[in-house]
Amino acid sequence: MSIYTIAGLTPGSWVVFAITLVFITNQHEKVTGQLFYNAFLHPLSNVPGPFLARISGLPSWYYAMRGDRHIWLWQLFQIYGKMADDMSGLRLTAPGPKIRITPNTVLFRDPAAYRDIYNQKANVQKAPFYKAWQKDKDDVNTFTTRDKKVHARRRKMLNQSFTEPSLRASQPFIIKHVDRCDELLVAENDDGQWSKPVNFADLSDTLVFDIMGDLCFGTSFDIKEPGENPFKSIPHAVVQYMQFFYPLTRSPMLDLILWLKPRGLDTLFKTITPPHIKNYIRFVQSCVTKRLALYQEQKEKAMSDQRQDMFWFLCDAKDEAGRPAYSDSELYAEANMLIVGGTDTTSVTLAALMFYITRDATRLHKLVHEIRSKFLSPEDIVYGPELTSCVYLRACIDESMRLSPSGPSELPRQVLKGGAMINGDFYPEGTIVGASGWATGHNDEFYGDSEVFRPERWTPDESTGVTQEYVNILRANFHPFAQGPGSCPGKNIPILELSITVARTLHILEVRKPPTGENSLGQGIPTAGWGKRNQNIFQLQDSYISVRNGPIVQFRRRVT
């Protein structure tokens, strides 16, 4: 056990625990009265949920510390959620499943509620959860900004970095790293020989971080290359960074913690932050400093001679008055967001996709056939209509994102003054609402066979009985990049990364699950808890991002 983890708790979690214990000890009479109010008199008292969660936020925090909060939410929907058939026979919500997971939080998992919560005109804003991610008052980025008007301005400026030109500009960097990664996978193999078993979660992390280095900061970290490299610990440090702060954001004492942060708690957290997380923070600062220097150096050159990566578009963005959109401190904060958000979706989806296709020979063959029949050479696999016409490739990507979402728990929103109507019910000001990615994707009442990897559900086909109407209904409940003002601004980049990586890799290489040895990594365990037993489901840990391990796979050069 790490010296920075005691009894399974990180230093941040111990601080939250201590604050909670002191508060309960000194305010026991008020706490008792509040518990009674939460159970019987609260405006949300009629919303179903486990008794302990209805009176206290402790269960939600407990499962956040364990890393399986998404599984707990799924369990609650299985117990308390109610569904009904619509006229077409497809099982949809009526009036919609909802669960109360803290005294002031209600979650949903149906399309109507999702639209009511996350649409542009919804009378909600980001919950205090987001403010807890700030290291200090200067650490403000688009992700942590709660004010709707300020967020809209920031988002408008950030969108300038994710235009069609920036998407096309990113392609050479992606292709360079994918081809090099494929080369390394079989570098020591004779023709027809399978590679050593590799943990694909680690492999996808190294690939995606190297791509992100080029896209964001103008240089590759080269962590996929053999040999020693000081950057090789960075993907793991990002996970530890998220695991350190995530329990804090789900604390039942969050309001008190947010009040204490500028009054000394931020300083305390900086003191107890483990060295590897401090190294990650310094790493981000160093990357931004070097990229800013390169931008200033090239600014007077012709546009064609400037390195137009993602960070160039951030540096070059202008506000409504024509001034630079970001200060240096804001660029540091945005960079941290881009590293975490820009790597997690691609990496977890790649790992999940490899998990599922290496356990399903029929669908692997179907995917490989589409790619190899569409493109004569891997060099032909580039951004354009030919790649986007690979409908089964996109279906496999979508199905992997459904089963293994990069955000397994909810994106919380707080109802504003005047309240909000959600799926026909009124929720008062201050209520926290949201939808859980894992619980929504693993919903048998909606998908029928939600625990089955079946990409065909996303492609209309008379032979399979899948209609366009059916696909449209599914897509109304499918939001891998969120929706509305809080959606991912650069969602086209991970889709491009995923499409190019899978297509180029499967065009030149064959992949399999090792027939013997440690080949079960990533799958469910029959003796594990409810919701974690299915050996055909790629398992995740919830730290706001999806922490993963596996699958173990092997590669060899294409033999046919």
Closest CA to 458 of 502, 531, 415, 399: 399
β-bridge mates for residue 555, sequence order: 511
Question: In 3-state terms, what secondary structure has residue 543?
Answer: strand
Spatial contact of 124 and 117, defined as CB atoms under 8 Å apart: yes
Closest CA to 235 of 311, 344, 309: 344
Q: Provide the Cα torsion 333, 337, 340, 344; round to 10°.
A: -170
> Is cis: bond before 551, omega within 30 of 0?
yes
Closest CA to 485 of 238, 146, 46, 34: 146
Is 488 annotated in some ligand binding site? yes
Closest CA to 71 of 308, 405, 327: 405
Spatial contact of 351 and 213, defined as CB atoms under 8 Å apart: no
Write the DSSP assignment of 440-481 as a string of letters. HHT-HHHHSSTTS--GGGGS-BTTTTB-HHHHHHHHTT--TT
Kind of pairing, strands 105-108 and 432-435? Answer: parallel
Spatial contact of 350 and 181, defined as CB atoms under 8 Å apart: no
Write the DSSP assignment of 362-389 as a string of letters. HHHHHHHHHHHHH-SSGGG--SSHHHHT
What DSSP state is assigned to residue 335?
Answer: H
Write out the binding residues for heme: 488
Q: Which residues participate in the annotated binding site?
A: 488
